[in-house]
Chain A
Amino acid sequence: MKHSRRKILLTAAITALSLHAFSAQATPVKIGIVGPFSGPFAHYGVLFKGGVESYLASQGGKLAGQAIEIIYRDSGGPNPGGTKAVVQELVVKDKVDYLGGFIFTPNAMAIAPIIQQSKTPTVIFNAATSAITAKSDYFVRTSYTLWQVTVPEAQWAAKQGIKRVVTAVSDYGPGIDAENAFKSEFTKQGGQVVESIRMPMSTKDFAPFVQRIKATGAQAVYTFLPGGPPNLGFVKAYNQNGLADAGIRFLGTAEMDEFDLQKFGDDAIGLTTAFHYSAAHDSEANKRFKSALKATAPEAVANYASVGAWDGMYVIEQMIQATKGARDGDKAMAAAKSLKWESPRGPVSIDPQTRHITQNVYLRKVEKTADGLVNREIQNFGAQRDHGTKP
């Protein structure tokens, strides 16, 4: 029928036109930022963008004297096929010099062959599984891993005289990492993990799990959940179902993340977490970061995701500096591996073996101040490497 033939031709014409509309000229240094900008994880996209834009603005719009072009691409949720297609286009068509971003482990894993073949240095702003950086020589990470922040917390808990702990984590990669990290270190320190509870990702009502935690008779609960509804739900359930009153201490890592922190209200006061970044960290670098963020991206919050992007941009800047704006993946990575600097989180460096960031991990307690709730750093565990990899 003529009808469908015409339809096909029209479709083809429109396809070709729309796909051709985006060829840009390549003089500035191009950075592709890939993250979830739509869908249920869109808040991460806001945080990434905030960190990226504010860093760029704080450097006067240029990095290492070079003009910069940033291309943002949506990866949606955990979607390795789609992320791979997006990154392939960034590398092959847009010819980006650097890549940054990535929240989810499968998305980062999927692009490893592309960046390896094209020698594109890629800075991971978030995806926290230890195994990722080993997948390609061109990965460098400025976030954290669960092992990195959990091992010192387990050691601290043991020193506090806590003998029996129950772990309650969300049933996904990072959660299981967290559970393994805590179990391994805590038992090494002589403690006992009485039960390991895995909470399905689809959980909405955490009351059942809180009841289970109560029933174990443990002295503390070590927990890890993804940010957003699960985190919010669990902490609320912890308070509303009387765990705090029953004397079961809270041991967390990312749960008191500044993005959700204010929502917990007074219930959160006193909760302890071990983590690598607090917005209340008292340093010049952090003050600069926060004011830059406020000026350029007021909708973003200073937290581990935005600081991951901020520090990631610093690393990219150093790589641009080392290659003088030219595209040289190997030279850039060599420069990245030797970096040491003062980040808003504290003193950090890139481990040349794992290409993961070595950083201080702090023990924090939630306190109420005139500006709302903050994570007050009460102890510094010192520089921690990624304990999830062999030294």
Chain B
Amino acid sequence: MEELALNILIDGTTYGMVLFVIAVGMSVTLGLMRFVNLSHGAFAMIGGYVTAHCIQAWGFGFFSATLLGVLFTIALAGTLEHTVLRHLYRRSELTQVLFTIGLSFFLIATTNAIAGPQIQLIALPDWLNAQVDLGFRVLPAQRLLVIAVGVIVLVAISYAVAKTRFGVWLRAAVDNPDAAASLGIPIRLVQSTTFACGAALAALGGVLGAELMPLEPFYALKYLVLVLVVVAVGGMGDIKGTFMAAWLLGTIDTASQYLASSWGGIFFFVAMILFLARRPDGILKARET
């Protein structure tokens, strides 16, 4: 029985960490700029593809390739944000939806045209592929890396938001953009930097998650619902909430695979309904009456 619980915990945490790293960027962007970016999944995909390409075509190692993938995505996202996306901040949410879905379609078609429809693999170094013996089961080392990265990202972002000056600016800009601007906080800088960081995290998530969510052109839209669910349950802009939501939902989904797999993904969505109904502002925020 404990073995089952431990298995659920380990596999659920791994899955949850991947969801967290991909979703946290979207949560912050949504919370900060109220910008509905449905092309967020595309950033995860592009980060993964560039990393895969660096390894396959140019022989980079795993970590340097991942760095390159993240940097490329930052550049791309930053450019998009500066040229086009920032003009959409003022438009209605539905308009943002339309545009970013169009952008996703376009990026999917581009990826298909460049790389073809087959799955792209990210070749891991041998030590990451090695099996770690936990006694009651074996686990690929890569999974432990994912869990570690998830925790590091949580700690790093929470620290950055709470303790650095940029974090102060960010929180001010979220709470009251006009007051913040009148106090001399460079709102545009905050917005672009946050957006770029969100995209960078998505790219990182895409690389880390490639074992679970293989890279293919349709990736951008395929996993979009999952990311949206995590963001909604976690609460827009709430980093710890997103972590909690990703972990809980990931574990519940994993548990249903161990215990009642013929019911499909129903438990994931039922859990989501229950969480959201009780805590509509985010899982860590008690409902305001």
A211 B112 Cβ-Cβ under 8 A: no
> What chain A residues lie within 8 Å of B8 (beta carbons)?
208
Is the C-beta of B213 less than 8 angstroms from some C-beta in chain A? Answer: yes
Is the C-beta of B61 less than 8 angstroms from some C-beta in chain A? Answer: no
| A residues with CB within 8 A of B | 38-40, 42-43, 45-46, 171, 197-205, 207-209, 211-212, 214, 228-229, 232-233, 236, 240-242, 245, 259-260, 263, 299
Nearest chain B CB to A191 CB, angstrom units:
23
B265 A202 Cβ-Cβ under 8 A: yes
Is the C-beta of B222 less than 8 angstroms from some C-beta in chain A? Answer: yes
The docked-state distance in angstroms from the alpha carbon of A70 to that of B14 is 47
> What chain B residues lie within 8 Å of A38 (beta carbons)?
112
Question: With A204-B212, A204-B213, A228-B216 in contact, is A209–B118 under 8 Å at CB?
Answer: no
> What chain A residues lie within 8 Å of B129 (beta carbons)?
240
Question: Quick one: closest B residue to A202, CB to CB?
Answer: B265
Is the C-beta of B275 less than 8 angstroms from some C-beta in chain A? Answer: no
Q: List 7 A-B contacts (CB under 8 A).
A: A42-B217, A171-B262, A200-B265, A211-B258, A214-B137, A229-B119, A240-B129
B212 A208 Cβ-Cβ under 8 A: no
Main secondary structure, interface of A, reads helix
B258 A212 Cβ-Cβ under 8 A: yes
The docked-state distance in angstroms from the alpha carbon of A279 to that of B218 is 28
Question: With A201-B264, A208-B254 in contact, is A232–B214 under 8 Å at CB?
Answer: yes
Is the C-beta of B102 less than 8 angstroms from some C-beta in chain A? Answer: no
The docked-state distance in angstroms from the alpha carbon of A198 to that of B116 is 31
Looking at B213, B218, B257, B265, which has the most chain A CB atoms within 10 Å of its CB?
Answer: B257
Question: With A42-B217, A198-B261 in contact, is A205–B254 under 8 Å at CB?
Answer: yes
Question: Quick one: closest B residue to A199, CB to CB?
Answer: B261
The docked-state distance in angstroms from the alpha carbon of A40 to that of B112 is 10
> What chain B residues lie within 8 Å of A229 (beta carbons)?
119, 213-214, 216
Nearest chain B CB to A215 CB, angstrom units:
8
B138 A199 Cβ-Cβ under 8 A: no
Which of A43, A205, A242, A260 makes the CB contact (< 8 A) with B15? A205
> What chain B residues lie within 8 Å of A236 (beta carbons)?
211
Q: Which 3 A-B residue pairs are closest in the complex by CB-CB distance?
A: A42-B117, A40-B218, A43-B117
B261 A232 Cβ-Cβ under 8 A: no
Question: Quick one: closest A residue to B120, CB to CB?
Answer: A263
Which of A205, A212, A241 makes the CB contact (< 8 A) with B212? A205
B257 A240 Cβ-Cβ under 8 A: no
The docked-state distance in angstroms from the alpha carbon of A207 to that of B257 is 10
Is the C-beta of B281 less than 8 angstroms from some C-beta in chain A? Answer: no
Nearest chain A CB to B103 CB, angstrom units:
17
The docked-state distance in angstroms from the alpha carbon of A259 to that of B143 is 26
Is the C-beta of B81 less than 8 angstroms from some C-beta in chain A? Answer: no
> What chain B residues lie within 8 Å of A299 (beta carbons)?
116
The docked-state distance in angstroms from the alpha carbon of A259 to that of B118 is 8
**Interface residue tally of chain B, by bracket?**
20 to 34
Question: With A40-B218, A40-B222, A197-B261 in contact, is A260–B119 under 8 Å at CB?
Answer: yes
> What chain B residues lie within 8 Å of A42 (beta carbons)?
112, 117, 217-218
The docked-state distance in angstroms from the alpha carbon of A232 to that of B140 is 15
A171 B261 Cβ-Cβ under 8 A: yes
B216 A40 Cβ-Cβ under 8 A: yes
Nearest chain B CB to A92 CB, angstrom units:
29
> What chain A residues lie within 8 Å of B262 (beta carbons)?
171, 198
A200 B264 Cβ-Cβ under 8 A: yes
Nearest chain A CB to B25 CB, angstrom units:
19
Question: Quick one: closest A residue to B225, CB to CB?
Answer: A202
Is the C-beta of B96 less than 8 angstroms from some C-beta in chain A? Answer: no
The docked-state distance in angstroms from the alpha carbon of A14 to that of B213 is 41
> What chain B residues lie within 8 Å of A241 (beta carbons)?
131, 137-140
B137 A211 Cβ-Cβ under 8 A: yes
A200 B261 Cβ-Cβ under 8 A: yes
Question: With A40-B222, A209-B261 in contact, is A233–B214 under 8 Å at CB?
Answer: yes
B140 A240 Cβ-Cβ under 8 A: yes
A171 B216 Cβ-Cβ under 8 A: no
The docked-state distance in angstroms from the alpha carbon of A42 to that of B117 is 6
Contacting residues of chain B (190-218) with chain A, CB-CB under 8 angstroms:
211-214, 216-218
The docked-state distance in angstroms from the alpha carbon of A187 to that of B258 is 26
A233 B212 Cβ-Cβ under 8 A: yes
Apart from A42-B217, A209-B257, A241-B140: 20 A-B pairs, beta carbons within 8 A? A39-B218, A42-B117, A43-B117, A171-B261, A199-B261, A200-B265, A201-B264, A202-B264, A207-B14, A208-B11, A209-B261, A211-B11, A212-B258, A228-B119, A233-B211, A240-B140, A242-B131, A242-B138, A259-B118, A260-B119
Is the C-beta of B158 less than 8 angstroms from some C-beta in chain A? Answer: no
Question: With A39-B218, A200-B265, A241-B138 in contact, is A232–B119 under 8 Å at CB?
Answer: yes
Question: Quick one: closest A residue to B15, CB to CB?
Answer: A205
Nearest chain B CB to A243 CB, angstrom units:
10
> What chain A residues lie within 8 Å of B119 (beta carbons)?
228-229, 232, 260, 263
> What chain A residues lie within 8 Å of B139 (beta carbons)?
207, 240-241
Nearest chain A CB to B137 CB, angstrom units:
6
**Contact flags B256-272 to A (C-beta < 8 A → 1, else 0):** 01100111110000000
> What chain B residues lie within 8 Å of A203 (beta carbons)?
257
> What chain A residues lie within 8 Å of B254 (beta carbons)?
205, 208
